[in-house]
Structure 1
Amino acid sequence: MTLSGAQALVGQLEREGVRHVFGVPGVQLDHVLDALARARAAGGPIEYIAARHEQGAAHMAEAYARTSGRPGVCLVVPGPGVLNALPAVATGYACSSPMLCLAADIPSPLAGRGLGMLHELPDQHGFLASLTKWSGRADTPARIPGLVREAIRQSRSGRPRPVALTIPADVLAARAEVDLEREGQAPDGDRTGRPRASGGPEWAGQAPDDGRSGRACAFGEPEQDALSEIAAVLRAARRPLLYAGGGVLASRAGAALIALAEELSAPVVMSRNAGGAVPAHHGLAFSSLAAPRLLPLADAVLVVGSRFLTPRGTAVPTAPDATVALVNADPADLGAPRRADLALRADAREALEDLRAALVPARTATPRSGRPEAGWSPGELAEVRAWCARKVESVEPQWSYVRALREAIPDDGFLVNELTQVGYLAAVGYPVHHPGTFLTPGYQGTLGYGYPSALGVKVGNPDRAVVSVNGDGGFCWNMQELATARKYGIGVTAVVFNDNAYGNVRRIQADEFEGRFIGSDLTSPDFVRLAESFGVPAVRADTPARLVGALRERLTEPGPSLIEVPVAEMPSVWPLLLGGTPGSVRD
């Protein structure tokens, strides 16, 4: 077919299962926007959602990719557009999100000459390559379909992570003979961009459009020797313990994790990024608060999909005589400074399934009663659970607000958790009943990511409740996306806890710098009136009970809404999260 580069791009995105593209229009993207409009008018499946800032658009794409099972795509102009998108790309890199950042570039003949063209960067491709798993550049229309196919494959293969594709404006406008890649057709190696070094073999296979079904991508077969050794250690352990990180959610390995835990009668400690990997109501499920109580008692620890480090970058403490086995898709997370007796580079779901399969024949041959004595007693686990609950419930008023959120949000609803005083406690105190329904920015700690990310979650999951928890500081970073929510009718309820301060900064200045306050006090708007000025319904709730009522009411109504919760300075939750708690790890 004779197509423009922009038409080739849109046509291939359709074939890759893309259904939404988030972006901000700009002159270098004119031909892409026209191609999207023409395709939509002809009945095409892709809806373009115009955000009010590239950072908002990219956050939407990242959270969409993390929760929907479809490719999350943001479309940005070169230069400032790319730079504005990078916080979300970095968040996706931290959280293993298979997002695609599509960036236009200045015309090819002018690239690299330093002529000061509109939106020119010295090395745009280098900026993107530094924060993505793979980055490609198309220099002809004919190469675009193969590069799009490869970008999507790379984003999902191995450890899911963001990828980028740069297409100069003249390539988007040019017309040429183009063959779109067919479903199932392998990308042409000569047409792919150069992937960044992965440090190991490629993963085989490609995830289905709906990442929530079917087997996850995996390296060939896990190394059988290491797998057998880990299985033997677990089989012989008197007190095995499973430690789950965010990689379990990224590979959708929750069911496999539960099956192995039940086979071993082993408790599962979930890091702060793994909430819901095992439903909170399950008898073997524990938050990261339980780690200092359980890890010292375990004689075998299987760590799956976690970096397994403290916030200080040191190894998480375990019993000196415990055998520690690490399973991770990233080889960088299998070595020092961690202590590891056994290490297996593998996909979390496949490794967990294979480990359980290795244990079942042994159980069949040797009755359960033949296992070593001791084990975890129900009373012992119940006492640890009660200890964690007491710790969480002692932090007020945060606990009452966390409980209000849980009471009002349906079990399968999403809570997008921002960096705010209530959100910090929610990271260990909010019971998560379905995997992937509690979102954080991971170790990147991206302030302001919450509200636009929640919009992306809702676009990808239109039939489920989505609530965004924010502080007044973080919400103001992307509050312009209220306009996007109103324009497209995106039914997210934003809860804004307003203390007119960067609370953490102010507390540190009070506690460590003798109350020399600078830059931490804020002048925040009246958020109810602000939302209403965008045409977004809003109310104020000044108690946890009123928050429950307001949330329940808003979640039954279509379209976006906002609830402002005025609060005073709250007690610090950090002694609970960091005060000698090895379980509060980065994952």
Structure 2
Amino acid sequence: MTSRQTGGDALACQLAREGVEVVFGVPGVQLDWAIDGLRKAADRITFVATRHEQSTSYMADGYARASGKIGVCLVVPGPGVLNAMAGLSTAYACNSRVLCIAGDIYSPAVGRGLGLLHEVRDQTSILSSVTKWQGRAERAEEVPRIVSEAFAQLRGYEPKPVAVEISHDVLSSVAEVPAQEPDFTSRPLAPLPDQIERAARLLAGSRSPAIYTGGGALAAKASDALAAFAERIQAPVIMGENGRGAVSDRHPLALNALEGRAVLPHCDLVLVVGSRFVDTAMGRPAWPSDAARYVYINIDPGVAAPPRRADLFVQGDCRLTLESLERAVPQRPALKMNLAAVRQWAAEQMREIEPQGAWLRALRRAIPDDGILVNELTQVGYFARIAYPVYHPNTFITPGYQGTLGYGFPTALGAALGSKGRLVVSINGDGGFGWNLQELATARKYNIPLAIVVFNDGHFGNVRRMQLDQFGHEYATALVNPHFDRLASAFEIPYVAAADPAHLERALREHRERGGPTLIEAHVEAMPSPWHLLRLMRPPFAADRPAPANPLGEPQHSHENRIVS
């Protein structure tokens, strides 16, 4: 069936067919006909107009991670695409299903370098650095097919952003456009039976296995499978920053990365599930032990490449692979490792990190188990990586290995729109909040129910600490901030000054009752460094701080009875 449509109408209609409910974008001249198409589809698709293209991609990412649906952003070519790159790079790092629809210059001039408005050289290649697939509609008739292919890619086994480019003359042209039926089939990658068999043999020969999990387990919705498998083999589950919530912190086998530091030396087999397993500062393996074997479970073979050492790589969707492994291995005896002692050992070290710990306890008390905390690169946020308990998947949102300062507030706006009424809290430093504070206008315009917490120390606090530690002085870290109470008032957003953690807890409860956005400012001073607690390996700059004795004692590794796969 065909109908006479503009390319812009065809775009909006296909998005609606694919089940899109929200599009984040900034109107611009090359998008006029796409915006008009969305206007006609306003009964099916909500268009959220942001104040900066960077926020469109961040909001699409947050929406995707909170809702489990596909996030969509729409930007003009050239500077619009470049502005959106930060959010797309974060989505790529975090295995987020995001579609970027990029306008383009007059189609006959693409690639000719004529200097048209918003032209950049080889926009497709630019987008390819942060997306796994790129498509272009050359004619209006092609728009539904290209968009449908983009969604097929998004529903495929590799959860990464994709991009579609459409020139403005294609959006404005009129043609007989064929309808394209969407394919909602998900396509997870099943592991090969011989790989499952080899992994099961390694487990059978293991004395003390452990599981280390990252964000890939969350992207694959593998939480139930992970918990069931861990219970079957009686292995502790160590969750890295991006894997927090893969199993509930209440689960008896759940450990954070600090607790994992005590456990891993005692393990002779580590199953790395959905993680790149590298130190993101130096590119070294996260836990290089010659005494342990490593089995990597991932859809990307690159995660097992050097400098990491893999005794076995199992390529497959994390959920399907764990389910297959659970069926292939026998039930192991109850774990004898004293995880209670490990948790106590970690808690004693974490007690040193105050007042961050007090702020995090207040956040956890005020946020329901299924509420969402969007973490940021701020003093409280760094410690949250290990000290904030997480009870449900996708309720602790991070920027992944990108570490994109300033991502948190706009990402949280998208998460709030996709959260289905759950409480969403964005924590920020005053430095990072400055990246996108203009989106207070978006929060107000759409009355987005988000609690925006700004910890204000008047500096780029982490940079200041690192400069003082390394050089004995600081430079260029002091900030000139707005009066946040006046800023909130300017956007007609309720403002609360939280003098201490108890005030923050109360402010969050009042925010939830009130609805809409709330800006909460907490004035803080310089805080103690938590960095010596945040890595599986103790970082070099903590060498002067003696490591507490391992609560499990010195590891006694045995190389006997190893099964070579």
C-alpha separation in 1, matches of 2:485 and 2:154: 39
Local SS of the residue matching 2:358: helix
C-alpha separation in 2, matches of 1:551 and 1:272: 24
| Match among 220, 231, 247 for residue 200 of structure 2 | 231
| Deviation at residue 496 of structure 1 after TM alignment | 0.2
Tell me which residue corresponds to 1:421: 379
Residue 312 of structure 2 aligns to which amino acid in structure 1?
L
Residue 499 of structure 1 aligns to which amino acid in structure 2?
D
C-alpha separation in 2, matches of 1:530 and 1:164: 35
C-alpha separation in 2, matches of 1:431 and 1:506: 28
Contact 1:278/1:285 (<8 A) preserved = yes
Aligned-residue CA RMSD in angstroms? 1.5
Runs of 4+ in 1 over 6 A off after TM superposition: none
Residue 458 of structure 2 aligns to which amino acid in structure 1?
N
C-alpha separation in 1, matches of 2:538 and 2:299: 26
Q: Which digits, 9 at most, give the CA deviation of each residue in 1:529-549, with x for residues without a partner?
A: 211210110110111111111
| Match among 526, 541, 552 for residue 483 of structure 2 | 526
Tell me which residue corresponds to 1:134: 133
| Match among 327, 333, 337 for residue 297 of structure 2 | 327
Tell me which residue corresponds to 1:501: 459
Residue 293 of structure 1 aligns to which amino acid in structure 2?
A
Residue 22 of structure 1 aligns to which amino acid in structure 2?
F
| Deviation at residue 307 of structure 1 after TM alignment | 0.6
Local SS of the residue matching 1:32: helix
| Match among 322, 346, 359 for residue 316 of structure 2 | 346
| Deviation at residue 579 of structure 1 after TM alignment | 8.2
| Deviation at residue 237 of structure 1 after TM alignment | 2.4
C-alpha separation in 2, matches of 1:119 and 1:126: 16
Residue 258 of structure 1 aligns to which amino acid in structure 2?
A
Higher mean displacement: 322-331 or 571-580: 571-580
Contact 1:129/1:135 (<8 A) preserved = yes
Local SS of the residue matching 2:180: coil
C-alpha separation in 1, matches of 2:522 and 2:533: 24
C-alpha separation in 1, matches of 2:175 and 2:109: 21
Contact 2:56/2:73 (<8 A) preserved = yes
User: What are the ranges of 5 or more consecutive residues in structure 2 without an aligned counterpart?
Assistant: 540-565
Q: Where in structure 2 are the equivalents of 1:111-190 lying within 5 Å?
A: 111-184=110-183
Q: Where in structure 2 are the equivalents of 1:99-114 lying within 5 Å?
A: 99-114=98-113
- 1:355 paired with 2:325, answer yes
| Deviation at residue 110 of structure 1 after TM alignment | 2.2
TM-score (norm 2): 0.93
In the alignment of these two chains, the number of paired residues is 536
Q: Which digits, 9 at most, give the CA deviation of each residue in 1:332-391, with x for residues without a partner?
A: 1122111111111111000001000112xx45xxxx56xxxxx7326x110011112222
Residue 399 of structure 1 aligns to which amino acid in structure 2?
G
Tell me which residue corresponds to 1:199: none
Tell me which residue corresponds to 1:398: 356
Q: Which digits, 9 at most, give the CA deviation of each residue in 1:415-453, with x for residues without a partner?
A: 000100000000111000001000000010111110110
Tell me which residue corresponds to 2:552: none
Q: Which digits, 9 at most, give the CA deviation of each residue in 1:106-139, with x for residues without a partner?
A: 1112222222211111111111112210011110
Q: Which digits, 9 at most, give the CA deviation of each residue in 1:267-311, with x for residues without a partner?
A: 100011011101011110001112221111112211110011123
- 1:571 paired with 2:521, answer no
Tell me which residue corresponds to 1:195: none
Tell me which residue corresponds to 2:232: 263
| Match among 251, 254, 263 for residue 223 of structure 2 | 254
Q: Where in structure 2 are the equivalents of 1:380-459 lying within 5 Å?
A: 380-459=338-417
C-alpha separation in 2, matches of 1:183 and 1:122: 33
Contact 2:385/2:534 (<8 A) preserved = no
Local SS of the residue matching 1:273: helix
| Match among 14, 27, 30 for residue 29 of structure 2 | 27
Q: Where in structure 2 are the equivalents of 1:216-227 lying within 5 Å?
A: 217-219=187-189, 221-227=190-196
Q: Which digits, 9 at most, give the CA deviation of each residue in 1:393-422, with x for residues without a partner?
A: 210111111111101111100000010000
C-alpha separation in 1, matches of 2:200 and 2:513: 48
Residue 547 of structure 1 aligns to which amino acid in structure 2?
L
User: What are the ranges of 5 or more consecutive residues in structure 1 without an aligned counterpart?
Assistant: 185-204, 208-216, 370-374, 583-587
- 1:376 paired with 2:335, answer yes
Contact 2:148/2:182 (<8 A) preserved = no
Local SS of the residue matching 1:530: helix
Contact 2:225/2:323 (<8 A) preserved = yes
Local SS of the residue matching 1:31: helix
Contact 1:417/1:468 (<8 A) preserved = yes
Q: Which digits, 9 at most, give the CA deviation of each residue in 1:79-101, with x for residues without a partner?
A: 11111000000001100001000
Q: Which digits, 9 at most, give the CA deviation of each residue in 1:426-482, with x for residues without a partner?
A: 011100000100000001011111011001001111310000000000001101111
| Deviation at residue 313 of structure 1 after TM alignment | 1.0
C-alpha separation in 2, matches of 1:331 and 1:523: 46
C-alpha separation in 1, matches of 2:536 and 2:220: 31
Tell me which residue corresponds to 1:210: none
Residue 425 of structure 2 aligns to which amino acid in structure 1?
V
Contact 2:284/2:307 (<8 A) preserved = yes
C-alpha separation in 2, matches of 1:386 and 1:15: 53
Local SS of the residue matching 1:310: coil
C-alpha separation in 1, matches of 2:129 and 2:261: 36
TM-score (norm 1): 0.89
Q: Which digits, 9 at most, give the CA deviation of each residue in 1:471-518, with x for residues without a partner?
A: 000001101111101100100000000000001111122121231x32
Contact 1:241/1:300 (<8 A) preserved = yes
Local SS of the residue matching 1:556: helix
Q: Where in structure 2 are the equivalents of 1:182-331 lying within 5 Å?
A: 182-184=181-183, 206-207=185-186, 217-219=187-189, 221-311=190-280, 312-317=282-287, 319-331=289-301
